[in-house]
Every structure is written in C-alpha cells, then in structure tokens.
Structure 1
C-alpha cells in the first residue's frame, strides 16, 4: 500500500509539472510578445517555487517540521524579491518622461484648420504646379517646410506621413533622398556614413544653406548646473567627466544620453567632438516582439542627473517641456539673437539637400526660399535666416 501511495504521488507530481510548464509557457509567450521581457525571470522563478513547494508538501517533507517550512519560504522569498527588482525598476523608469515624445506633428500639417504654421503678410510671388517636388526632412524643420508648402504648393491634403510632403527622422530622410524616394530634404548636414552611402549610389549630395540654428544641451530643470564650457561638454561625452560635482553641480553621476547613429543631432555631436573619441552611449534593452532583444541608443529620459542635446527650435518651439532647461555654453545662452550675432559657439547652418544639382521645380523652390520672401518666412517661423545672420 505504501508503494502504491508513493507511486501515486509521483504520478500526481508529473501531472502538476506538466500543467505548470504548460501555463508557464503560455504566460512567458504573452510576456515576451507584449515586450515586458523584464518579467520573464519573475515568472520562471514563481513557477519553479510553486512546483517545488507542491512536491515538498505531497511528499510530506514539511510534515511537522516548521523549521524546514521557514527555510524554504525564506529562500523562496529572497529569490522572488531578487527577480522583482528589475520589473520594479522598469516600472519606475517608465514613469520618467522622455523629451521627444510630446510633439504632435499634425498641428503643422499644411492647409488644415487652425494649424500652427506662420504666414507671410502678402501672397508669395511663386506658385508651383505639377510635378510637385517630393519633400522630406527632419522633425525639427517640419514647421518650416510645411509653411513653405502652404505658401507655394496648390491647396490639397498633405498628410505628413503619406503625401508629396512628409516628415521623418534625419537618417530616414537622407536614405529616401539617396535612393530616389524624394526630391529634396530639409535637414542638418549629412554624416560621413551618409556621404559614403550617397557616393556608393553614384550620387553627390548638394547642400544649399537656408538658415542657421543652435545645437543645444539640456538638463533636468532641478539640476543646479546652468552652464558648461565646450571643453566640459567634450569631457562629459568622452567619459572623462563623470560626476556633476566636477562641473559645479551636486555629487551625482552624469548620465549622458546620445541619439541614434546618423540622426541630425548625433552627427552634430560627432562634429563637435572632432578628434575626441565619443564614449559608448547608455543602452536599453528594447523588445522587438516574440522575445527578441536589441540594444539601442537610449532616447533622452529626463532623469535628474541626465544630460541630452537637440536643436534650439525643436526644444523651445515644438516640445516646450518646462521640466528641462537649456544650458549656456561658454557663458552664452542659445537664443536667436546669439545665433544671429555669432556669439553662441555651436550654431550651424541647416540645408535643403538634393541628389546632385537641383533642376526644374526643385530649383525654383530653393531659389524662392533664398529670396527675400523665403528668408522672411524662415525668420517668421522662428529660425534664423541667412540674411539676418550676415
């Protein structure tokens, strides 16, 4: 009888094991598919503890032995707490706002009611007809070329993601230009890899400066650091300056975020660093579905010890985040006036970029942007025109 009872317990244990494995597999699939991979260790640990606890109970390992019960649940508790650390950290981390997730592109869509595009005081002297140039560009410049569209393109729908005038991140805009998916882009200057990519396709990028903008660095508004020198910026992004205390702040490690490779702001940082090697960026594990993981440069998250960078217009006019503040560089604040008079040290031109010399309606559009009317629109849109910066 005792052997039969023991055999029965083994059968029950196997059945419970299969049941636990089945439901654990389903739960792991749901967790991985939803992108919450940081819960996987906790799910596995809970399943293992549940099964071991069940086996120990049915085989009477705990019978009249409270000491064993305490030891088991102490170890189980330690394991569960350890596996909970990452999900809890992730939960708190997700509560930290990102800076570049707050822009509603549709508020700049041309020919829509109550959009936020600026208007010239008189009708433009140029009106384009078919074939209309296909325009793409960086997010930070969309308010400008959307306004240009509203002035000189025929009135119709220009969806920002599917029309003759679309908006992308800088690296996508350059890819579209190089592979012939668009006629012109509004963007910061290309990275070395984008220049090489164009050359491999037999294309020479043609850059026409149309205005100036400031490359800016920003921190959490509660950070007591208000200014940095260019050398300090380079030291931070080279990994040589690692604590805010080294630049007049509080004793706290600097979390220096970077942007994806070939983005306009990342290219600007690389140009700024020159021959100084750029340190490896903070990374986050990002789920790609079905449990896959890639490492990607983190989007700027507004931690109290973080520092990030972007362009002045994007920060001040599009995001308008009161939880961050722009830093003075070499004692000069990034304003339109300091860009105009060349006192802000990290101001640079932005461009209309074409694949080779512009012709036809593309050339007409560029000439209009460089005209008195076009430059007035650049200025009125909140950027610094070439003429006012001369």
Structure 2
C-alpha cells in the first residue's frame, strides 16, 4: 500500500517594503506584479514620496528597498548600493509641420525659461513658441526640470497639462507648441526633435549621445533583507528587463550585479 505523501511546508509569508521616487514606483509595481506570481508568499508594500524619502528610509532601515530617479550624492551614497534597473528618457516633441530641425539643450532651456519666445530665433517660422509642461507633481516634470532647467521654474506662460497623452495631443494640435514626454509615450502624430544632435533611442542612450536621460535605481542598505536582494536580482534579470522594455523604459545595456546581503 502506497504511503501518503509527506506534507509540504509552505514558504513563510514575507512582506517587502519599498519607498521613494514617484517615477520609479509604477515600474516597480509592474515588476512586483510578476514577482508575486512567481513567489505567492511575497507581498510588496510600495510607497512613493520622492527619491529623498527613499534614500533616507534605506539609511534609517525603515524600508527594505529605496527607489530613486537620480544619481545619489556622495553623502547619500554612503552605505547604500544603488542598482540601476532602467533609464528614463525624455523626448522633446513638436508638431509634424514645424520646420525646426533640431535644438541644443541650451536652446531648449532658454525656450522653457521664456528667454527664447519665437520659433524664428531657432531657425523656424515667425511664430510665438508655446511651451507645454506637465503639472508640478509629475515625475516627468521633475525629470525635465532637473535635466534641462537645473531646477529653475519654467516660464509662467507655459501651458500646463496633466497627462503625457494630453501633452502629446496639445502639441499635435498646435504648430506653435513644444512639449516633452517619456520615451514610452511617443505617438505618430508628433515629431521628435534631436537634442544636441541625437534622437532618443536605446543606442543613443547607451552611448550617452542623447542628453536627456536619468537612471532609475533601486537602493539596498545594510539592513535590507535577503528577500529584498532577491527582488532586485529579478528586476535586473532577463525576465525583469523584458518587463522594463514592455513598460516603455530603456533596459540596462549589460548585466548588473546585485550585492550580497549583509545579513
């Protein structure tokens, strides 16, 4: 008579906590959705708050993983392993009939600060420029203000839109408009402008020819548990990077090593 199968002890429930960048949060949620399918015993508590919140929370041991959408400063990086999981790329868009062939980053900066106000100043038609921006809480707005404006405030005459789709629709419907969207939000009814001689693409990002790029990072500290390290390993794995690409981000150009847990 066959013996009864031995009881299988289920894996213990584990709750992984994350906090930080609002830009990284939706990508981590997409990665976490798949990770939970593979590991049903894992729950993920993903909060936002901004990159500084994530950095401080890892330093203080209040979360397992921090999320940041900029390089860490020297004092912030002490004791933290910053693991890149993707690149965030901003595309500059205009109406398809706008004849301006390209802009430099400095010209773009002056347009959004209100110092260049007519397209003829940058080789276009005699037409006032309508800069279009995202609303202030947008992660894309934060990236643009950091990469292009050096944290300065855009001109008060800028046209504010809430979503990437609204920015794209506004630019597609106005020859005078210029806007910015994430690399994953490009549509056929607008034209992407080269910046400093390069168009956004995985190749121009990886070769550092395209300037409007920032890293998306997961942060591990000395108190981060092995389960947190395992999730970060999944994020940089082939399966994780496939999710990154499908979500509209630029994957890592090469394999990334994840540090060994300290505990």
Superposition TM-score, scaled by structure 1 size: 0.46
- The alpha-carbon distance between structure 1 residues 190 and 260, as it changes in their structure 2 partners (threshold 3 A), is farther
Please say if residues 89 and 250 of structure 2, whose CA atoms lie closer than 8 Å, have aligned partners that are also in contact. Answer: no
Structure 1 residue aligned with 2:250, among 373, 384, 389?
384
Aligned match of 1:148: 31
Structure 1 stretches of 5 or more lacking a match?
Answer: 1-127, 158-162, 193-198, 285-296
Kindly report the root-mean-square deviation, in angstroms, between the aligned alpha carbons of the 2 structures.
4.2
Pick 1 or 2: higher relative contact order, CA cutoff 8 A, min separation 6.
Answer: 2
Aligned match of 1:337: 203
Aligned match of 1:305: 176
The structure 1 segments of at least 4 consecutive aligned residues displaced by more than 6 Å after TM superposition are: 178-182
Provide Cα deviations, 1:104-124, integer angstroms capped at 9, x if missing partner.
Answer: xxxxxxxxxxxxxxxxxxxxx
- The alpha-carbon distance between structure 1 residues 389 and 370, as it changes in their structure 2 partners (threshold 3 A), is closer
Q: Distance in 1 between matches of 2:136 and 2:144?
A: 11
Please say if residues 336 and 383 of structure 1, whose CA atoms lie closer than 8 Å, have aligned partners that are also in contact. Answer: no
SS of structure 2 residue aligned to 1:221: coil
Please say if residues 51 and 70 of structure 2, whose CA atoms lie closer than 8 Å, have aligned partners that are also in contact. Answer: no
Counterpart check, 1:347 vs 2:213: yes
Report deviation, 1:153.
0.9
Report deviation, 1:378.
3.5
Aligned match of 1:27: none
Q: Distance in 1 between matches of 2:209 and 2:255?
A: 11
Report deviation, 1:385.
2.8
Superposition TM-score, scaled by structure 2 size: 0.65
- Report 1:1-390 matches (<5 A): 130-134=13-17, 138=22, 142=26, 144-154=27-37, 164=44, 172=49, 184=65, 188-189=69-70, 207-261=82-136, 263-273=138-148, 277-282=152-157, 297-299=160-162, 300=167, 301-302=170-171, 303-313=174-184, 315-316=185-186, 321-353=187-219, 358-371=224-237, 373-375=239-241, 377-379=243-245, 382-388=248-254
| Larger proportion of strand | 2
Question: Greater CA radius of gyration, 1 or 2?
Answer: 1
Please say if residues 96 and 189 of structure 2, whose CA atoms lie closer than 8 Å, have aligned partners that are also in contact. Answer: yes
Q: Distance in 2 between matches of 1:191 and 1:209?
A: 12
Structure 2 stretches of 5 or more lacking a match?
Answer: 1-10, 257-263
- The alpha-carbon distance between structure 1 residues 191 and 237, as it changes in their structure 2 partners (threshold 3 A), is farther
SS of structure 2 residue aligned to 1:386: coil
Report deviation, 1:328.
1.0
Aligned match of 1:123: none
Please say if residues 242 and 254 of structure 1, whose CA atoms lie closer than 8 Å, have aligned partners that are also in contact. Answer: yes
Report deviation, 1:247.
1.2
- The alpha-carbon distance between structure 1 residues 212 and 277, as it changes in their structure 2 partners (threshold 3 A), is closer
Please say if residues 223 and 304 of structure 1, whose CA atoms lie closer than 8 Å, have aligned partners that are also in contact. Answer: yes
Provide Cα deviations, 1:28-68, integer angstroms capped at 9, x if missing partner.
Answer: xxxxxxxxxxxxxxxxxxxxxxxxxxxxxxxxxxxxxxxxx
* Equivalenced residues, count: 227
Report deviation, 1:255.
1.3
Please say if residues 282 and 298 of structure 1, whose CA atoms lie closer than 8 Å, have aligned partners that are also in contact. Answer: no
- The alpha-carbon distance between structure 1 residues 187 and 215, as it changes in their structure 2 partners (threshold 3 A), is farther
Please say if residues 129 and 154 of structure 1, whose CA atoms lie closer than 8 Å, have aligned partners that are also in contact. Answer: no
- The alpha-carbon distance between structure 1 residues 332 and 222, as it changes in their structure 2 partners (threshold 3 A), is same
SS of structure 2 residue aligned to 1:268: helix
Please say if residues 199 and 210 of structure 2, whose CA atoms lie closer than 8 Å, have aligned partners that are also in contact. Answer: yes
